[in-house]
Amino acid sequence: MTTAMAGDRADARRNRAKVLAAAADAMAEQGLDVPLGEIARRAGVGAGTVYRHFPSKQALLEAVFARHLEDLVASGERLAARCAPTEAFFGFLLDIVELSSRRGHICDVVVADTSWPRPGLTAARLRFRQVLAALLQAAQRAGGVRADVAPEDVAALAAGCVSMLGARRDRPAGLKLVRLTLDGLRPSASVTEGRSFRDSPDVRCEECGSALTVRPTGRPVRYCGATCRQRAHRRRLAG
């Protein structure tokens, strides 16, 4: 390979990276309808350069989302190398939520449209899931995350947190809610175990004192059955 050819390829890589960065910022600010000419202007390249790398808006969207996932993978790998397992796992989730909330338009359209071939996006999503699963399993082995949580549970919870943060104008308040939500993954959180999910009052039969099951709708339960109801009725008549 000649020096000129190597230089041309290096320029092409730099231009592609500029277009991806400009597209991500422009779409986050202006939505998915931002013209490719505006993206080219932000990137400091000609429109022909954009079309040479990305022949359609769909191809550009896919590449932007794949790049986003690759950035998250790199973040997860750094955290795994530098932090304790539990700290790395929750740090990764916060990175997912904070970074993805700024790319909501792109994430929504790429995830929703299953008709795209997107081989590059498929590979990026697979790598992302692998890193997420590895961090989750390490945190579970360390005792920092509930054992009954699967990678798909974490992915769904993170997606919900992205939507929640994106809907809040007060970002610090939104991040507080995100942290409270993610705390439900810790072993001490038992809100999904049995009847403790609802803080129901201790309701008992007015006649015999037996514990009653509280119904979510309808009239409040007062007696455990027909026998106690009749006894109470007879006492009221006698009184």
Could you give the number of structural domains in the chain? 3
130 and 87 part of one domain: yes
pLDDT tens digits along 126-182: 899 999 999 999 999 999 999 999 999 999 899 889 888 877 778 888 889 999 999
73 and 96 part of one domain: yes
75 and 172 part of one domain: yes
Q: At what angle do helices 3-30 and 104-112 cross, to 10 degrees?
A: 100
* Structural domain contains residue 4: no
* Structural domain contains residue 225: yes
pTM of the predicted model, to two decimals? 0.68
73 and 121 part of one domain: yes
Range of the domain at 208: 202-239
230 and 119 part of one domain: no
167 and 207 part of one domain: no
pLDDT tens digits along 54-83: 888 888 888 888 888 899 999 999 999 999
The mean pLDDT value for 116-133 works out to 82
164 and 88 part of one domain: yes
33 and 125 part of one domain: no
129 and 44 part of one domain: no
* Structural domain contains residue 67: yes
51 and 65 part of one domain: no
Instruction: Point out the least confidently predicted range of 32-41, 68-77, 177-186, 202-211.
Output: 202-211
111 and 228 part of one domain: no
66 and 181 part of one domain: yes
- 92: domain CATH number is 1.10.357.10
- Return d(Cα 49, Cα 54) in angstroms, integer: 9
